[in-house]
Amino acid sequence: MDDHEQSYETGPIFDALDIDLVVKVLSHTAFSPFFTFFIPVFYYFQGARWPDSVIVLSAGFCAATSLFWFVKWYSRLFRNQGSLLFGPGPFDWGEQIVVITGGSSGIGELIANTLAVRNVTVVVLDVNPIVTENYNITYYKCDVSQWEEVEAISKQIVEELGHPTVLINNAGVVQGKLLLDLTPEDIQQTLSVNTLAHFWTLKAFLPEMIKNKTGHIINMSSVAGMVGMAKMIDYNASKAALISLHESLRYELDHQYNAPGVRTTLLIAGHILTPLFSTVRLSQSRLYKFFVPSLAPITIAKAVIAALDEQHSRVIYLPFYAHFVPYLWVMPSFIRDFAQWLSGCDYAMDDFVKVSGRRPEEGPVPEIRNDTKND
């Protein structure tokens, strides 16, 4: 292969082509009610009349497409006690106080800086300071895995800035070890940061939201919380617990606290190109990248901001394949195992090196071989 051919295959246009882009285009064309409505109309003006098969089939396809999108839309509307005629008022970004855990790097940092541009008061909770030039980002050193620290910092935030209206639980850590190689400190850190921290931040900031009957909680989970993977036992368990926490919280807010206006959004994402999983070994084949694309941090940031803007409780699956992961539980075992083999997830952590969230006793990040890095 010469240099010209190689540069073509790895060009930005070719790399951007994946199943998510195809689905997005189809949803706005071939599977759009607006687009499909004109198909039977076109045939009618070409001379076809009812009950000609071409009219019946195209009209049926239009009706089925319209029904699918109506049910999808009404399902979200029903869950959010919405009106069929009137949508929620515009989201007043300037009045929001947004707390982001783990906001000093990766996705959290990107969301913090993006919101700051919108004149939002942003509060970052992290053990490391955020490096930013945005004046409306306030950093508080806080280990969110410790209730005492979260409780103390939450009181300081209320005194200095006011009561937060949005909470984005973003902090996370992964060890990448086999079960018997995990130390008690490893397990404690994973469950404390990925799961218990959500309990602490909710206990600190949720009461005022319930009192005002408004607010928004966004929890960052993973497809790993719905499947099993080698060397991911502690991480997967922590994310599975988060999914269950989110669902239970939604019903408590609706039926026990009588505060359905406090919205909850759960983001279930696949592999994201952040330092947390920067040393994961994934297949480099074009077919794999097409159907199982990695996510850019900006994609997650856009989804979070859109969820806040829409003011709806919902579950967001990214990328497209994540929608089908929950159904693996009900598949025959040979199909389930085939999907596991096809993904290669049981070997993806073989060369993993922990980069983010290293404890002092773990020392500095060791040198990483170039062939284990994501391109």
Segment 302-314, tens digit of pLDDT: 999 999 999 999 9
Residue 297 has pLDDT above 50, yes or no: yes
pLDDT average, residue stretch 109-126: 93
In whole numbers, what is the pLDDT of the chain averaged over residues?
89
Question: What sign does the CA torsion over 204, 208, 211, 214 have?
Answer: negative
At residue 314, what are phi and psi to the nearest 5 degrees? -165, 170
Q: Taking the mean position of all CA atoms in its chain, how far away is CA 253? A: 21
What whole-number distance in Å separates Cα of residue 212 and Cα of residue 159? 18
Select which of 239, 317, 321, 354 is catalytic: 239
251 counts as catalytic: no
The tokens of 159 are what? 């005194």
pLDDT tens-place string over residues 57-86? 999 999 999 999 999 998 988 888 887 777
Residue 84 has what DSSP assignment? S
Question: What sign does the CA torsion over 90, 93, 95, 98 have?
Answer: positive
pLDDT at residue 368 in the model:
65
What whole-number distance in Å separates Cα of residue 348 and Cα of residue 174? 13
**Across the strands, what pairs with 264?**
217
Q: Which helix (H) or strand (E) holds 137?
A: strand 137-141
235 counts as catalytic: yes
Q: Which residues contact 115 (CB under 8 A, 6 or more apart)?
A: 93, 98, 122, 305
Say if CB 261 and CB 214 are below 8 A apart.
yes
Residue 285 has pLDDT above 70, yes or no: yes
Select which of 139, 140, 231, 235 is catalytic: 235
Residue 122 has what DSSP assignment? E
Residue written as tokens 């706005």?
28
Say if CB 142 and CB 149 are below 8 A apart.
yes
Q: Measuring CA to CA, which residue among 174, 188, 171, 187 is closest to residue 128?
A: 171
What whole-number distance in Å separates Cα of residue 303 and Cα of residue 309? 10
pLDDT at residue 9 in the model:
43
What whole-number distance in Å separates Cα of residue 284 and Cα of residue 332? 28
